A and B are shown apart, each in its own frame.
Chain A
Amino acid sequence: MVIMQNYVIKKEDLNKLVERALDDYDVYAPVQKKSIHVYDQISDPASMDLNYGQTMTSAKKLFNPPVENMMTFDFDKKEIKDRLEDTIPETPSLIVGLHACDINGLLFLDRVYGGEYDDLYYQKRREKTTIIGLNCLESCESGFCRSVNTHIVLEGYDLFLTPIEDERYYVNVGSPKGDRLITLAPDLFEEATEDDVDAFRKSLQKKHESLPVEFHLDNLTETLDMAWDDPIWEEIGEDCMNCGSCALVCPTCYCFDVVDEVGLDLKESTRKRKWDTCLYYDFALVAGNHNFREEPEARLKYRFYHKMRGAVHDQGIIACTGCGRCIDACPAGISFLDVLAQLQKNWASAPTIEGGN
């Protein structure tokens, strides 16, 4: 009995698949720009570069754009026009080459934008997007995915490619949308043989040997509960510029601001939402100018607690995929990973734990 059908595809044939997909999809893929990679729309498969470590910004921009129109209000007619349909392109999208960390980032956003209230702007884009994931067999420069267990994906992709020997990819099919891609170019795919499964296993072995574990999640929640008054917050708070770069490049940071902008003809206004971050001064400001997070270190600390402690309560998982982008993006050189590791060290060596009895 066939429980699950898996395939292999030659690396060179992936370009042919993308070529054919271009007729039906807007295709996005990692593209090299100067010294960095970014997800960009492509019109030629040759311009995509899957041999990349990490893109500068995450794929969340394709599902939750930095700025988007929510609705328009006509002042004369006193009418609200939903801009949902305008903001979502008619053509479905295909994203090629998403690493496990970014797919896990989307799984987190799925939780936030789902639940009791639907966020249709996000969900409709998500439904209209097909994802070809790409397994990393080696670690990237700042990433720490294995430490936070996001080097593996179980769902969230439509096809997932793992490089195996002989310049081929082993293909896991994750959804009916993935099946649709295969039927688009059935000649490019071969059913996986037992030898291919062995090759796949070897690749996974290689991955597990090469991805380091730099930090342990297991006692993180207790660590953060103990660390609220740790001097580390004041120390790194002095360095942190509250620029918000870490949040903007983060695949799971989802905070947004809502603003109304009036058209130049004064006939209508557009309600927009824009990426926002808890590091900005006015994020927790309320009426009467009371600020619940007045000091820079309070805002920096909040980001750590929201992502690594609050999200566990709220969504059941941490809001970090170990992609390391925040480390690369920080102009002050603050490393998210180092801060967590330092907190765990402080906690483990706290006198109440080690010395007292």
Chain B
Amino acid sequence: MQVEVKRENEYIPNLAVLKNRTDMTELETLFEFEFKDKDLQDHFSYKPGQFIQLSMFGIGEAPFSISSTPTRPGTIELGIRRAGDVTEAIHRLEPGDVVGLRGPYGNGFPLEKMKGKDILIVAGGIGLVPLRSVINYIIDERDDFGHMTLFYGACLPEERIFVDELENDWPSAPDVDVLQTVDECHDTWMGNVGVVTTLFDKYEVDSENTVALICGPPVMYRFVVKELLDLDFRRDEIYMSLERRMKCGVGKCAHCQVGHKLVCKDGPVFTYFEVQRLQEAI
């Protein structure tokens, strides 16, 4: 259950301490935060697919999808790529350093609607960050969901994130299939080579009673959606998480507006049916 933590001024972040950091690739690191306020830390909850606004004081604030799952209370995990000023500064953090966090914001994945259904997850690159939350959620609440399949694509083998879970934890979970692919590889890679859509040729996906969740670079969506539509997935059962530059996170600054939707409040998760009607969405 999500506990509402109501604050007087929504824009003021809560202080949080970096507990641990794990480098995943040259560019991506998993950061684990804990709120300084113990009461908040104990009651903080969220839905997979929601995001947090992280403040690096003096540098700025930016939105990040939550990588951890509410089924495993403890630190709040954010998988972050070094891509700009704020993320560069985050990557310089050491355990014990203090940042600001506020949220969670956004709608998250439609867990209730997914119950009892098979789940196909298609992730590209760091698109696995929000999807890891839902993957671990499903594994922890295994009886509520049907079969889960994960297609994961990265440019290079060494650019894959959450490798340990990809290679070990998830494939060994009950009723879960994990397929990986890379665009380019060296001699060490024994798996599939090609963009993520090539996995559709290697694995039989049954769209009957299946919900698809997608997250990846903007270019990926159209190609993946085409595969899904060819497999007769319903447009409102294809969910995708959109990326925008949110400044406020609460529907005020309009930076994340797409058509008439606000990614921060109406999203970041949208059905393909919604997205196809929004100009400039994908």
Q: Which residues of A line the B interface, CB within 8 A?
A: 70-71, 73, 75, 78, 80, 82, 84, 112-113, 115-120, 228, 254-260, 262, 269, 271, 273, 276, 278, 283-288, 290, 292-293, 298, 302, 305-306, 309-314
Tally of chain B residues near chain A (CB < 8 A): 43
Say which one of B141-149, B157-165, B243-251 lies at the interface with A.
Answer: B243-251
Whole-angstrom CA separation of A276 from B254 in the bound complex: 10
Interface on chain B toward A: helix, strand, loop, or mixed SS? loop
User: Residue on B with the closest CB to A312?
Assistant: B260
- Asked whether A314 lies within 8 Å of B262 as measured between CB atoms, the reply is yes
B199 at the interface (CB under 8 A from A): no
Contact B83 A288 (CB under 8 A): yes
Binding site for A on B (CB under 8 A): 8-13, 15, 55-62, 81, 83-84, 87, 98, 100, 217-218, 243-245, 247-248, 250-255, 257-262, 265, 279-280
A-B contact pairs, 26 of them (CB 8 A): A70-B11, A84-B9, A117-B251, A119-B10, A119-B252, A254-B254, A255-B255, A256-B252, A258-B247, A260-B56, A262-B58, A271-B11, A273-B247, A273-B253, A276-B253, A276-B255, A286-B243, A287-B243, A288-B217, A290-B217, A292-B244, A292-B280, A305-B279, A306-B254, A314-B260, A314-B262
Cα A116 to Cα B201 with chains together (Å): 45
Which of B258, B265, B279 is the most central at the interface, judged by chain A CB atoms within 10 Å of its CB?
B279
Also in contact, A285 and B247, with CB within 8 A (given A259-B60, A260-B60, A262-B58):
no
Residues of B within 8 A of A113 (CB): 252
Q: Which of B87, B248, B251, B254 contacts A278 (CB 8 A)?
A: B254
Ranked nearest first, the 7 interchain pairs of A and B with the lowest CB-CB distance are A313-B260, A269-B58, A117-B250, A73-B57, A310-B260, A287-B83, A255-B254
CA distance A118 to B11 in the complex (A): 10
Other-chain contact of A260, B59, B98, B253, B265 (Cβ < 8 Å)? B59
Q: How far is the CB of B61 from chain A (nearest CB, A)?
A: 6
Interface of A is mostly: mixed
Q: Closest CB of chain B to A272's CB: distance in Å?
A: 11
Q: How far is the CA of A212 from the CA of B102 in the complex (A)?
A: 49
Q: A80-B100, A260-B60, A302-B280 are in contact. Are A115 and B251 (CB under 8 A)?
A: yes
Supply 12 further A-B pairs (C-beta < 8 A) apart from A73-B57, A284-B280, A313-B259.
Answer: A71-B11, A73-B58, A80-B15, A117-B10, A257-B253, A260-B56, A271-B61, A278-B257, A283-B255, A287-B243, A290-B218, A313-B261
A116 lies within 8 A of B257 (CB): no
- Docked-complex contact A286 and B252, CB < 8 angstroms: no
Residues of A within 8 A of B98 (CB): 78
Within the complex, what minimum Cβ distance (angstroms) separates A85 from chain B?
10
| Inter-chain contacts of B254 with A (CB < 8 A) | 254-255, 278, 306
Known A78-B15, A257-B247, A260-B57; judge A284-B260 contact (CB<8 A): no
A256's partner among B60, B243, B247, B262 (CB-CB below 8 A) is: B247
Minimum CB–CB distance for B30 against chain A, Å: 17
CB neighbours of B83 from chain A (8 A): 287-288
Min CB gap A340→B, angstroms: 18
Closest residue of chain B to A306 (Cβ to Cβ) is: B257
List B contacts of A309 (CB < 8 A): 259-260
Residues of B contacting A115 with CB < 8 Å? 251
- The residue of chain B having its C-beta at the shortest distance from the C-beta of A258 within the complex is B247
B193 to chain A, nearest CB (A): 23
Contact of B58 among A80, A260, A310, A311 (CB under 8 A): A260
Q: A288 CB to closest chain B CB, in angstroms?
A: 5
A44-B23 Cα distance, complex, nearest whole Å: 65
Q: State how many angstroms separate the Cβ of B9 from the closest Cβ of chain A.
A: 5
Asked if A258 and B218 make an inter-chain contact with CB atoms under 8 angstroms apart, the answer reads no
B282, closest chain A residue (CB) = A292
Query: Is B58 within 8 A of A75, CB to CB?
Result: yes
Q: Which residue of B lies closest to A298 (CB)?
A: B280
Interchain CB contact (< 8 A) of A258 among B10, B84, B248: B248
Partner of B244, one of A75, A112, A284: A284
